[in-house]
Structure 1
Amino acid sequence: MEPFKNLLNPALVAEAGARLRRHAPRFDAEAFTAQACAGLEALEMKARALQICAALEATLPADFDAAAGLLEQSLAPPTAPGEISAAPGLHEGLRGWILWPVGEYIARRGQRQPERAMAALHALTQRFTAEFAIRPFIVQHPALAFATLQRWVADPSEHVRRLVSEGSRPRLPWGQRLHALVADPSPSLPLLRTLQDDPSAYVRRSVANHLNDIAKDHPGLVAAWLEAHLPGAPAPRRALLRHASRTLVKQGHAPTLQAWGLAPGFDGQARLRVSPAHVVLGGAVTIRLTLQSKAPQPQTLVVDYAVHHVKADGSLSPKVFKGWKLVLAPGETATLEKQHALKPVTTRRYHAGRHGLAVQVNGQAVASAHFHLQLPGG
């Protein structure tokens, strides 16, 4: 598997320098490429982006307006709806991952001209994403940033409308933590209220993730949001709100469960079997769960499971995965089965040892088991 960091590579940097010089013949493409590529292949992804950004700072015009204009002229046409970047290569202009360091440059050098910088991010996000670059402006120029985002909720480009939600997420992965919005998310709520019925699924999914971020710090606010916006909601909004509720459902948050017509817990017996007892990384375990209802009425059940992964220090770290949703009639017994793959991924490092697996129904644990994971050759 090709390392993710190689999306920012010397060939792409050289191509970007040539593209910039095409629009500004006096741009020193050689100096830019030399500085950006010095030791680049030894760096991880974010460090590569920051080094390329530093090379831009050293070689673009000192006047930010002129530099932003050159960057805008060098952009490829906007990407199609639902895409972040299109085909590899910069033959049509700057696009895709090379725009991560460009966004970082705008965030660093544009703070003294925030309106001009926000205009540049409006263009950039239609070729990649400006969700990381916009966050320093939200922190340092909140009034201007939110006034701009309020205008952008009606922008013709779904990439720009998505940026309104994604860029202002309090806990965006890889992004700067927006501590003021973690403490008080109210400035973003009018934006989300409009965008939750956006015609683009790409935008609506961002809104769902934004609300899920808020739920981690303000569960009551999201439960109240469900109470206000779930009754009579059209199917796309219901799907959005269900995705936004996922953390609270997994936690067994009673008001959220009630909003979805789910009773807290499970009235019945649960039996869990995980096999095989020993598995080598790259294989899978089979989860077999039997639920027997003791309730006098039907039960609507959301069944998830948590794998408790062994960490390097021997402690366990749980990760919750989606399981099943079903309605269990009074006295009914249901057997549920699925495979859980244990394959190497870039976001998790596996360690050998005794892993736990716990099943939870409507957010409450009902059964647990374990299996031993072995590493290849171990």
Structure 2
Amino acid sequence: MDDLLGPNEVKVLHDALASAAPGVKWGGVLATRARLEPLSLRGRTDAVASVLVDALGTYPAAATAFRSALEDPTFTGWALWPVTEAAVTLALADGGTPAFDDALALLAELTPRLTSEFAIRRLLQADHERALDIIRTWTAHPNEHVRRLASEGTRPYLPWAVRVPLLLATSGATLPILDALHNDESEYVRRSVANHANDLARHAPELVLTAAARWQQTGTPGAAWVVRRSLRTLVKKGHPVALELMGFTPAEVGITELRAETAALQLPGVLAFDFVVTNTGDAPARLSVDYAVHYVKANGSTAEKVFKLTTVSLEPGESRPLRGRHGFRQMTTRRHYAGAHALEVQVNGVRHGRLEFELVL
């Protein structure tokens, strides 16, 4: 990921800006290429953005240069992340309402070249009410990238991005954006809406459930997909209302023959497991079948995470063998530790059975 913004990208950025604003001293941009190697993608972005701020000095100069550069098709890609950050830094340093509002407009113009979702967060931090008043108007924008920015840029827990506490404290403030876009013609936009709603469900589940029920009534395939994706975490948590909205009602089931191929798994590796699910009730049952992995933490305790397996419909007395595979490897988002792990099957929010296995590093 770090190499997404490398020396070549910085050179292309320099050339586009030098052509767009020849009166600006852009030499510092080229000089950053020698400092990129040990830095993360975020660090590289900050380094280039800092040079852009120094070179331009004021927000009006930045807005003029960046808008002129948009006429160049090479002015695109990950090199635009520092561009958006520099624009916001200078707009906030300006301190005026015109600069604040124009910075939002500029981010909307830049976002089709590379998403402005990260830079927009600092404008939301500075004045989330004013920013949201403008962002809400983007839901009717003809460009799908701008409509997506309205949803993605205001997500409560946007990955890689700074938190905006007031977005968490005023959960309903972004709901008009989701209402306007949940049935958008673009899957790209609808996916953002679903991820945003799934974020909201972490701290405002009732708000999301009410919205999902409203969206579901439209009956369109796009809305149905958004509802399903929006409620995925609540379904995994076994929330009864979320399960009911998805058509999963309480059911009588039995889980038998739960077993894993191995009792000890070497990292990296894949745990293969299987079991039989049976509808022990006297009515047909639609079942959301998930599984929970209990991971060992650094301090020896465990923490669980639920994963989707499948959906099945069973007649009374019917059984179905199911099989799953779960990979274990070190990742930046999850560090594995040796020790006794466990796996449980979850059906319509209810846990069944438990198998234990040893993870060996």
State the TM-score, normalized to the length of structure 1: 0.88
Alignment partner, residue 340 of structure 1: 326
1: distance between equivalents of 2:214 and 2:6? 48
- Please say which of residues 216-225 and 22-31 is displaced more in the overlay: 22-31
Aligned-partner SS, 1:370: strand
Alignment of 1:201-350 (within 5 A): 201-264=187-250, 266-350=252-336
Q: Is the 8 A contact 2:139 2:150 kept in 1?
A: yes
2:81 maps to a residue whose letter is W
Q: Is the 8 A contact 1:271 1:367 kept in 2?
A: no
Match of 2:42 among 37, 40, 46: 46
Q: Is the 8 A contact 1:305 1:320 kept in 2?
A: yes
Q: Is the 8 A contact 1:275 1:371 kept in 2?
A: no
CA shift in 2, pair 1:310/1:94, >3 Å:
farther
Give the CA deviation at 1:266: 4.7
- Is 1:58 aligned to 2:54, yes or no? yes
- Is 1:159 aligned to 2:161, yes or no? no
Aligned-partner SS, 1:181: helix
1: distance between equivalents of 2:355 and 2:24? 62
Alignment partner, residue 373 of structure 1: 359
Alignment of 1:75-114 (within 5 A): 75=70, 92-111=73-92, 112=95, 113-114=99-100
Q: Is the 8 A contact 1:57 1:105 kept in 2?
A: yes
- Structure 1's unaligned 5+ residue stretches are 78-91
Q: Is the 8 A contact 2:290 2:306 kept in 1?
A: yes
Alignment partner, residue 80 of structure 1: none
Q: Is the 8 A contact 1:265 1:363 kept in 2?
A: no
Give the CA deviation at 1:194: 1.2
Give the CA deviation at 1:7: 1.4
- Please say which of residues 65-74 and 140-149 is displaced more in the overlay: 140-149
Q: Is the 8 A contact 1:279 1:285 kept in 2?
A: yes
1:275 maps to a residue whose letter is E
Aligned-partner SS, 2:313: strand
Q: Is the 8 A contact 1:282 1:344 kept in 2?
A: yes
1: distance between equivalents of 2:30 and 2:140? 39
Match of 1:68 among 63, 69, 86: 63
Q: What do the CA deviations read for 1:3-33 (whole angstroms, capped 9, x no partner)? A: x212122232233222211222233332222
Give the CA deviation at 1:244: 0.2
2:258 maps to a residue whose letter is L
2: distance between equivalents of 1:17 and 1:368? 58
Aligned-partner SS, 2:202: helix
1: distance between equivalents of 2:160 and 2:265? 32
Alignment partner, residue 83 of structure 1: none
Aligned-partner SS, 1:249: helix
Aligned-partner SS, 1:115: helix
Alignment partner, residue 22 of structure 1: 19
1:19 maps to a residue whose letter is A
Superposition RMSD in Å: 2.0
1: distance between equivalents of 2:218 and 2:61? 51
- Please say which of residues 222-231 and 152-161 is displaced more in the overlay: 222-231
- The structure where helix makes up a greater share of residues is 2
1: distance between equivalents of 2:252 and 2:160? 37
Give the CA deviation at 1:346: 4.3
- Is 1:144 aligned to 2:127, yes or no? no
Q: Is the 8 A contact 1:271 1:291 kept in 2?
A: no
Alignment partner, residue 191 of structure 1: 177
Aligned-partner SS, 2:201: helix
The percent identity for this pair of structures is 38
2: distance between equivalents of 1:271 and 1:18? 65
Match of 1:10 among 1, 7, 10: 7
2: distance between equivalents of 1:264 and 1:221? 23
1: distance between equivalents of 2:83 and 2:62? 11
- Structure 2's unaligned 5+ residue stretches are none
Q: Give the aligned length.
A: 356
Q: Is the 8 A contact 1:252 1:264 kept in 2?
A: no
Q: What do the CA deviations read for 1:131-185 (whole angstroms, capped 9, x no partner)? A: 1111222232334322222221111110000001111111211212222221222
CA shift in 2, pair 1:247/1:38, >3 Å:
same
- Please say which of residues 125-134 and 14-23 is displaced more in the overlay: 14-23
- Please say which of residues 98-107 and 196-205 is displaced more in the overlay: 98-107
1:66 maps to a residue whose letter is A
Aligned-partner SS, 1:153: helix
Q: What do the CA deviations read for 1:16-53 (whole angstroms, capped 9, x no partner)? A: 2222112222333322222x345321122222211221
Give the CA deviation at 1:324: 0.6
2: distance between equivalents of 1:266 and 1:134? 49
CA shift in 2, pair 1:232/1:9, >3 Å:
closer
2: distance between equivalents of 1:141 and 1:230? 33
Aligned-partner SS, 2:185: coil
